[in-house]
Structure 1
Amino acid sequence: MTHPGTTWLLSRAPYPTDVQRAWSEEEFASIPSTAWTVVEASCLRSIDAMRPLARVGQLGPVLVDPAADVAWWLVADGAEHHLADLPLLTVRPRGWALCCPPAHLYFNGRGWLEKPDGTGKLTDPIKLGAAFGPGGRLPAEAAR
């Protein structure tokens, strides 16, 4: 049975057959970020930021490549506006190609630290900014 997150990723790809072919050959598939915004950060700092978001049920998918010290967050629209002032984060433009494995597998060390769950849940950019901000804590109003 296919992981629900893998099914969701396929549903967001313009050419799902090409994605399935790449994955069957254990290669990354390139999925344009049209259903989400990709926010890039260091892997270690991302792990720290995941904790407060997970505690309040606000953690969306996070793809990691530990060898490259990179994490890619799938974030709801509006990230550019809310995260522009945070130097620890790089907001990728709409349509940026996310090179990823299926939700349930790692290829060449890259995989989903927080898997897509199939529902389309994404991290809220305001909450992500709070988690990466000074102290890495979500203020009470951001946790809601």
Structure 2
Amino acid sequence: MDHPMQLAQRYVAGDAWLAQCSAHPDLVRQAWQTDDLATLASGESWLVAESRLVTGMAAAVRIREEQRGPVLADPELDRAWWLVPTGGAGELAGVRQVTVQPAGWSLHCPPTGQQVAGRWWLWRPDGTGRLTDPAVLAAAFGPGGHRLSAAGMA
């Protein structure tokens, strides 16, 4: 179990990383200070792989925790947004349950430690820049959604 101070430090690190993914980190922080969603454009640091929330949760349980990057959820819209590396669109092209949004697509997100406008991070950014490997995500969504073992990873 994480100590409250450790959680707070992880939230700070995750928020700092997210803000730095923006061309305007100060605007991101400003939005969060007023309990608004911040707008972050995909493409520079990551791409967004979008799925239905229910389908995404089924896929997420097939991915080992250490292989899962940040995932933002909006239950009202039934959407999950996975942050994947910028070169990951090709790996996910054949996965019909996932839409990879183009570079420049706007992701409206809360800070890592709170819910805003019904959105929250299912798996929070931790400040390290870890993203979900698109091959792992494709396998989790793919036929049968096979769980990948550590031995099966390159």
TM over 0.5: yes
1:105 aligns with 2:114: yes
CA distance in 1, matches of 2:104, 2:147: 29
Which amino acid counterpart does residue 74 of structure 1 have in structure 2?
A: L
Deviations along 1:8-59, one digit per CA (max 9) or x if unpaired, are: 101111111111111111111111112001000010111111112125x210
Contact 1:126 1:142 survives alignment (8 Å) = no
CA distance in 1, matches of 2:55, 2:37: 24
CA distance in 2, matches of 1:35, 1:89: 19
CA distance in 2, matches of 1:35, 1:95: 11
CA distance in 2, matches of 1:143, 1:118: 23
1:116 aligns with 2:116: no
Partner of 2:63: 53
Q: Give 3-state SS (helix, strand or coil) of 1:63's partner.
A: strand
CA distance in 2, matches of 1:13, 1:41: 23
Q: How does 1:84-99 map to 2 (within 5 A)?
A: 84-99=93-108
CA distance in 2, matches of 1:129, 1:113: 19
Gaps of 5+ in 2: 1-7
Name whichever of 38-47 and 73-82 sits farther off: 73-82
1:129 aligns with 2:138: yes
Q: Give 3-state SS (helix, strand or coil) of 1:3's partner.
A: helix
What is the TM-score with the length of structure 2 in the denominator? 0.86
Contact 2:22 2:40 survives alignment (8 Å) = yes
CA distance in 1, matches of 2:152, 2:79: 25
Task: Provide the alpha-carbon RMSD of the alignment.
Answer: 1.6
Shift of 1:64: 0.3
Shift of 1:98: 1.0
Shift of 1:139: 4.4
How many residues were matched structurally?
Answer: 143
Contact 1:130 1:142 survives alignment (8 Å) = no
Partner of 1:35: 45
Which amino acid counterpart does residue 58 of structure 1 have in structure 2?
A: Q
Which amino acid counterpart does residue 108 of structure 1 have in structure 2?
A: A
Partner of 2:75: 66
Contact 2:62 2:147 survives alignment (8 Å) = yes
Shift of 1:115: 0.2
Q: 1:4 to 1:85 in 2, by over 3 A?
A: same
CA distance in 2, matches of 1:142, 1:89: 22
Same amino acid, percent of matched pairs: 41
Partner of 1:78: 87
Partner of 1:12: 21
